[in-house]
Chains A and B, each alone.
Chain A
């Protein structure tokens, strides 16, 4: 078990560019979550997958954001036409559906996005 991996760790991009982040969950975990954390705030839910199905999306996830989990394994989060307000830490977490209620989430170290 190598934990949840996120790539890249840091990304600096110019406003208007597109960026894509990758998350590799723990292999046997069937649920995968994306959260966004801005400086000094707690993480906010963006979206989650059960296997390859995207089951819920937050209102925070504007139409510039898209997430996929094509084979129920790794996931990507793409932001199109980035804005300075997108600067944040993007966190990925995974869990077993049966273990969620017991706090069975494992978080990655996050991807820090800076839009200049």
Chain B
């Protein structure tokens, strides 16, 4: 079946530091890959997506590249802000699973001023 593994948190960084959150996946077929963000007290929001190999998703300074050869979709940001503090979820959906989302366990990011 499909599965997503992401690095455990919390990840604690100082403002303006470089961020990487690792995500690897197992899936049959050709899944679409996503990063969702959950701010305190709010629902999940789509941060970025990539639907085929070598695609790069980007939004709000965050980027992730769909790497089929390493089955990875690592999230990066060059300079984090305090407002980026949240929980980040890597997820995939595939046609052979009814396009339901399969999520990783989430990584909490804490950015200190």
Interface residues of A (CB under 8 A from B): 4, 33, 35, 40-45, 48, 55-56, 91, 93, 100-103, 105, 107-110
B44 and A45 within 8 A (CB): no
6 A-B interface contacts by CB (under 8 A): A33-B100, A35-B101, A40-B106, A44-B103, A100-B93, A107-B43
A110 and B43 within 8 A (CB): yes
| Total interface residues in chain B, CB < 8 Å | 25
Interface majority SS on B: helix, strand, loop or mixed?
A: strand
A42 and B103 within 8 A (CB): yes
Q: How far is the CA of A19 from the CA of B34 in the complex (A)?
A: 32
Asked whether B79 is an interface residue with its Cβ less than 8 Å from the other chain, the reply is: no
A105 and B105 within 8 A (CB): no
B98 and A55 within 8 A (CB): yes
Partner of A56, one of B4, B42, B100, B101: B100
- Which partner residue on chain B sits nearest A33 by CB separation? B100
B105 to chain A, nearest CB (A): 5
B106 and A41 within 8 A (CB): yes
The contact string, 1 if C-beta is below 8 Å from chain A, for chain B 57-95, is 000000000000000000000000000000001010101
B106 and A107 within 8 A (CB): no
B41 to chain A, nearest CB (A): 8
A15 to chain B, nearest CB (A): 26
A42 and B104 within 8 A (CB): yes
